[in-house]
Amino acid sequence: MRRSQVATPYLPERIDGLFEIATNLAWSWDREARALFRLLDRPLWHLTRHNPLAQLRTVDPGRLAACARDPKFLQLYDHVLANLRATGSNAFTWWARTQPGLDGRPIAYFCAEFGLHNSVPIYSGGLGVLAGDHCKACSDLGVPLVAVGLLYTQGYFDQRIRLDGWQEDTDERFDPVQAPLEPLLGSGGEPYLAVVRTAGRPIHIGVWRMRVGRVPIYLLDTNLEENDPADRALASRLYAGGPEMRLRQEWVLGVGGVRVLRAVKLDPGAWHANEGHASFMLVERVRELVAAGVPYDEACRRVRGTSLFTTHTPVPAGHDAFSLEQVEACTGPVWEEMGIDRAAFMRLGYIPTRDHGQFHMPALAMRLSGHANGVSKPHGAESRRIWRDLWPGRRTAEIPIGHVTNGVHLATWMSHRMMALLDNHLGADWGNLLEDPAAWAKVLTLDDEVLWFVHKELKAILIHFVREQARRRWADEWKEAAHVVGAGTLLDPDVLTIGFGRRFATYKRSTLIFRDLDRLRKLLVDPWRPVQIIFSGKAHPEDEPGKKMLQEVYQFSRDPQLEGRVAFLEDYELHLAHRMVQGVDLWLNLPRPPMEACGTSGMKAALNAVPQLSTLDGWWFEGYDGLNGWAIKAGTEGVDEDAWDAGELYRLLEDEVVPLFYERDAQGVPLGWVAKMKHALKSVGERFTAHRMIQEYVRGYYLPALRSEGAGDDPPTA
Ligand SMILES: *Cc1c(COP(=O)(O)O)cnc(C)c1O
């Protein structure tokens, strides 16, 4: 890859702004921009999986010339381009209206992964998608966020399932030159913007800027000729390559990220570390201040006053920790530049009651951030319990960790058909009502038949998509009918369809529904009121128990006893996730409480009026209101949790879910079910959008930091 080679596709002059539109990911949630690319070449739009840049590089020049003369195309084009250029100004945003008079310093947001669109595969799952939604909502609201992440040229991994159901992890190289990324050069024209020392040698850091509406994301890239081959490889894969490699990636993200922001002349007034991977950002800022002559304690106080740490993992084993030797090998004697000794530095990552040979990244983050939060109400409480050892002598309830419940980006996750329905019902400017939760009550008066019709269309799109995927795979390599069936070809658009799309981590219990196979089978193959289930999800490449669980589900999908009522779809990523959350009838979520930090896919489903059935964990603990879906309530102390939850799941399906779905009026509309759908939509619109989440971050954390009022909570005392 040569950075200078970023080719602009040939475009007729009248429509050469298409490149500008395609290189700002704002198109990905702008309905009109999407309509424009669909109009440009509908089959290509479909074949590129909605990737305008790929589309512009392959579209027939004759087609471009025709569009450049087509008044209908040009009208839409002019409108989309004008809108995009108008986002250059913040004047009419929520931020501009509510926060006048701030001095314009941005908020820096650091995260190891960003999930914005399937054409930029630099995310592995929930954390990345959340970070992507965070940036999009900040753009909408005009919040001056600048984000920092890492570029991975092999992304995460593509999932292929072997015929025996074992997951294979394949790479699909991703070429940044083909993605909506803009390479930045150093002030002297060199291909790097910063240099970081690690393992005793310098790493040069190149930068790609990705535009997400108003928000820039600076993606750091170490794959430069200037670097040692071992360091070039840091930019290849997400969460792979063992602890030393991950540690160095985190060092590049944290230290390199701060230096890159300095190189592009940004001076953030608030700093947000999203998960422990980003914690070294705090260390670098302390080092900067000490280098400028500020004493260490005062430097820490200032960094704490302007920093927020968000934790996403409720399992201690899921937190990043490294041995002290690994840390020293990576960082070198950075403590000398911070004005402290090695022992004091290592103590920043210390947890008194845990393994003393380890350096814990979240502990570092909590010592150097004035605020910390979990991502749902129960996860806040669980985090206070997990981290209480850092504040010995305090009661758990007094541990200074709060929560901001995650939310999802409406324009990304709500289908266009559903939006069009709301245009008609709430008025075309309902998007502006997002800041007024009361407006959502009106969705309860949507016409039942119309809402049901829209849902049926979305379900048909999902089933069509599933069959097309299966058709291709069959033609390519499958020879046995079982595989074609298991990929969902026998799915029936009239049957109650349950969706289960998530990572195959054991606590998510994707096999729980198979616990009593006879009872499940009765539900699935009932001749009058059958049920079908669509599964999808990846297991972490190193998670053997997760892969085993996946294999089990895969084999059930090929089991003739279940008559084609269970499907497993390969390679769960954003595009497929969209299809699933928009098209199923019911979203199923079975985490073992309190292991789910938040869980956002149920919110995405609800934005499409798809109700959820879930254990009362993560956001559902706050979100379930008795009307918008179903909840599996905890059994009494001492019962076998899995047995209890499975029993409750079957009972709810048999007694409530299935009867409600199949109870129809004279027009064939399930009125009781549609009522659940409306409540699902209302409750998520009111309380679980990313806009609400960002407003909470702004009011609770970003503003106090920007106004320099943010002294922060009491630091850990241990
Ligand atoms: C939303 C999403 C996730 C996270 O879903 P959870 O409900 O938190 O498990 C993971 N992967 C993709 C592709 C998503 O869109």
Contact assessment for residue 400 and residue 383, using Cβ atoms and an 8 Å cutoff: no
Candidates 585, 612, 610; CA nearest to 599 is: 612
Give dist(CA 386, CA 392) in Å, integer: 12
Residue to probe by mutation, ligand 1, list 124, 129, 133, 598, most atoms within 8 Å of CB: 129
Candidates 308, 300, 254, 306; CA nearest to 277 is: 254
* Class of domain 413-688 as given by CATH: alpha beta
By alpha-carbon position, which residue is closest to atom 1 of ligand 1?
601
Pocket of ligand 1 (CB under 6 A): 125-126, 129, 502, 572-574, 577, 599-601, 604
Per residue in 639-672, pLDDT (tens digit) is 999 999 999 999 999 999 999 999 999 999 999 9
Confidence tier at 709 by pLDDT (50, 70, 90): low
For residue 601, the CA-to-ligand 1 centroid distance in Å is 5
What residues pair up with 689 in beta bridges, in sequence order?
A: 408
Residue 687 clears pLDDT 80, i.e. is over it: yes
pLDDT of residue 204: 97
φ/ψ bin of 84: left (φ > 0), alpha (ψ from -120 to 50), beta (otherwise): alpha
Contact assessment for residue 181 and residue 210, using Cβ atoms and an 8 Å cutoff: yes
E-assigned strands of 300-352?
A: 307-310, 321-323
Residue 159 clears pLDDT 90, i.e. is over it: no
E-assigned strands of 561-700?
A: 566-569, 586-589, 612-615, 629-632
Give dist(CA 250, CA 257) in Å, integer: 10
Give dist(CA 338, CA 286) in Å, integer: 7
Looking at CATH, the fold of the domain delimited by 109-406+696-706 is given as: Rossmann fold (3.40.50)
By alpha-carbon position, which residue is closest to atom 2 of ligand 1?
126
E-assigned strands of 611-669?
A: 612-615, 629-632
DSSP string, 538-572: ---TT-HHHHHHHHHHHHHHT-GGGTT-EEEES--
Residue 3 clears pLDDT 70, i.e. is over it: no
pLDDT of residue 4: 46
Q: In 10 A of CB 172, how many CB atoms?
A: 11
For residue 619, the CA-to-ligand 1 centroid distance in Å is 13
Per residue in 199-244, pLDDT (tens digit) is 889 999 999 999 999 999 999 999 999 999 999 988 888 877 789 9
For residue 577, the CA-to-ligand 1 centroid distance in Å is 8
Q: Among 370-374, 408-412, 478-482, 548-552, which stretch is predicted with the lowest mean pLDDT? A: 478-482
Q: What percent of the chain has pLDDT over 90?
A: 78
Residue 1 clears pLDDT 60, i.e. is over it: no
Q: In 10 A of CB 699, how many CB atoms?
A: 12
Map residue 59 onto helix, strand or coil.
Answer: coil
E-assigned strands of 213-258?
A: 215-221
Q: Among 72-86, 299-313, 323-337, 476-490, which stretch is predicted with the lowest mean pLDDT? A: 476-490
Give dist(CA 621, CA 297) in Å, integer: 40
What atom of ligand 1 comes closest to residue 601's alpha carbon?
Answer: 7
Domain borders along the chain are 3-86, 109-406+696-706, 413-688
What atom of ligand 1 comes closest to residue 126's alpha carbon?
Answer: 4
pLDDT of residue 156: 67
Give dist(CA 143, CA 137) in Å, integer: 8
Per residue in 400-437, pLDDT (tens digit) is 999 999 999 999 999 999 999 999 998 888 877 666 77
Map residue 689 onto helix, strand or coil.
Answer: strand
**Largest CA-CA distance found in the chain, in angstroms, rounded:** 79
| CA within 13 Å, CB half, 65 | 3
Q: How far is CA 474 from CA 186, 311, 469, 538, 703, in A?
A: 49, 42, 9, 21, 55
Q: What percent of the chain has pLDDT over 70?
A: 97
Residue 587 clears pLDDT 70, i.e. is over it: yes
Contact assessment for residue 369 and residue 304, using Cβ atoms and an 8 Å cutoff: yes
What atom of ligand 1 comes closest to residue 508's alpha carbon?
Answer: 9
616 or 540, greater pLDDT: 616
Residue to probe by mutation, ligand 1, list 600, 613, 615, most atoms within 8 Å of CB: 600
Angle formed by the axes of helices 324-331 and 242-251, to 10°?
Answer: 50
pLDDT of residue 431: 76
For residue 502, the CA-to-ligand 1 centroid distance in Å is 6
φ/ψ bin of 712: left (φ > 0), alpha (ψ from -120 to 50), beta (otherwise): left
Chain-wide mean pLDDT for the chain? 92
By alpha-carbon position, which residue is closest to atom 11 of ligand 1?
125
Per residue in 248-265, pLDDT (tens digit) is 999 999 999 999 999 999
Could you give phi then psi for residue 431, rounded to 5 degrees? -55, -35
Here the tokens at position 138 are 């900040």
Residue to probe by mutation, ligand 1, list 502, 581, 587, 604, most atoms within 8 Å of CB: 502
Per residue in 278-323, pLDDT (tens digit) is 999 999 999 999 999 999 999 999 999 999 999 998 877 778 899 9
Per residue in 365-398, pLDDT (tens digit) is 999 999 999 999 999 999 999 999 999 999 999 9
237 or 490, greater pLDDT: 490
Here the tokens at position 183 are 């390479």
Contact assessment for residue 402 and residue 309, using Cβ atoms and an 8 Å cutoff: no
For residue 680, the CA-to-ligand 1 centroid distance in Å is 18
Rg of the Cα trace of the chain?
A: 25
For residue 636, the CA-to-ligand 1 centroid distance in Å is 30
Map residue 247 onto helix, strand or coil.
Answer: helix
φ/ψ bin of 715: left (φ > 0), alpha (ψ from -120 to 50), beta (otherwise): beta
For residue 600, the CA-to-ligand 1 centroid distance in Å is 6
Which H or E run contains 496?
strand 496-501
What atom of ligand 1 comes closest to residue 572's alpha carbon?
Answer: 13
Contact assessment for residue 305 and residue 712, using Cβ atoms and an 8 Å cutoff: yes
First to last CA, the chain: 48
What atom of ligand 1 comes closest to residue 503's alpha carbon?
Answer: 9
pLDDT of residue 220: 97
By alpha-carbon position, which residue is closest to atom 6 of ligand 1?
599
The bridge status of strand 531-536 relative to strand 566-569 is: parallel
By alpha-carbon position, which residue is closest to atom 3 of ligand 1?
126
Average pLDDT in the 603-632 region?
98
Candidates 124, 95, 97; CA nearest to 112 is: 124
Give dist(CA 618, CA 602) in Å, integer: 11
CA 174 to chain centre: 19
For residue 558, the CA-to-ligand 1 centroid distance in Å is 25
Per residue in 314-368, pLDDT (tens digit) is 877 778 899 999 999 999 999 999 999 999 999 999 998 876 789 999 999 999 9
Whole-structure pTM value? 0.96
Contact assessment for residue 618 and residue 644, using Cβ atoms and an 8 Å cutoff: no
